[in-house]
Amino acid sequence: MTYTIRRATAADAIMIADLNRALAWESEARELDPDIVVRGVRALLADPSRGFYTVADQDGLVIGQALITREWSDWRNGWFWWLQSVYVRSEFRKAGVFRRLFEHLQAEARANPEVIGFRLYVEHRNSVARQVYHALGFHSEGYEILGLSLTVSEQEQSSAGS
């Protein structure tokens, strides 16, 4: 199988958004609003300070993707790269696409002395993804991720409209 690994461009926004929606459905049985996802992907691609996507491209088709966002660590005086929105189209899985994407990102991170490591979060029940990440050297750092949404949830919106 022949494909290239490259940084995503604005021309990839729709394909990336489609893969993000597929990821949410497969990993969490969550349906995302396509317009919001497209706007979010386009906003990120237009502003490199938000992060960047790296994609596996086969003749203009994005077959795999990974998003990198950054977190500054004052304790370690460096950047953690957060690996997010990782997805490989089902027909290209088990062919090393994600491994090659991640190896590319590792090489890029190692070339930047300010990058001190990778972090990611994975859905608790996604055992396949957990196995893949462990095989690549990821391990629990002993933290639990908590969140507080500042937007109205879909469920709250539908209740309010009733």
**Could you tell me the domains of the chain?**
4-160 (3.40.630.30)
Q: Collect contacts of 36-43 with beta carbons under 8 A, ≥24 apart.
A: 38/13, 38/14, 41/13, 41/16, 41/17, 42/10, 42/13
Q: What is the pLDDT of residues 30-46, one digit of tens each?
A: 999 999 999 999 999 99
- Rounded CA gap, 125 and 130, in Å? 9
The predicted pLDDT at position 162 comes to 46
Give pLDDT tens digits for 51-90. 999 999 999 999 999 999 999 999 999 999 999 999 999 9
Q: Are strands 52-58 and 115-120 parallel, antiparallel or unpaired?
A: unpaired
For a pLDDT cut of 70, what percent of the chain falls above it? 93
pLDDT at 155: 55
User: Which pLDDT band holds residue 128 (cuts at 50, 70, 90)?
Assistant: confident
Confidence of residue 161 (pLDDT cuts 50, 70, 90): low
